[in-house]
Structure 1
Amino acid sequence: MKKKLYRSTRNRMLGGVLGGLSEYTGIDASLLRILTVVGFFLGFGSLGLIYLVWIFIVPNEGAA
């Protein structure tokens, strides 16, 4: 079965992007969230822009 990236409906804080990425990669969602926030504050401000873009591009879990 081929894995697909979806925004999580069960494991979401804001848009479900990192929850879905967590399910796709197998990495804990809390770790991804911490790394994203730390990266954002360390000067990788593009992470916030990428997150916003993914909210609109990546479909919700269960969407056809």
Structure 2
Amino acid sequence: MARTCEVCSKGTVAGNNRSHSMRATKRKFKANLFTKNIDLGDGFKVRVKICSSCYKKLSKLGQI
């Protein structure tokens, strides 16, 4: 699945651009994704796409 966090399933969301006259045009809000290796223990690592908020949580736990 492209552009989706594999930990929390955060993905692309649709919204609107708003001009000064409040005219609405469609836009996309994309997730801030990183490709990182996560240590699962016993020397086994997995490469995953994770968002920045999940990356901060896992780095505090010491898994990245």
User: What's the TM-score, normalizing by structure 1?
Assistant: 0.26
Greater strand proportion: 2
Greater helix proportion: 1
Relative contact order, higher structure (CA 8 A, sep 6+):
1
User: What's the TM-score, normalizing by structure 2?
Assistant: 0.26
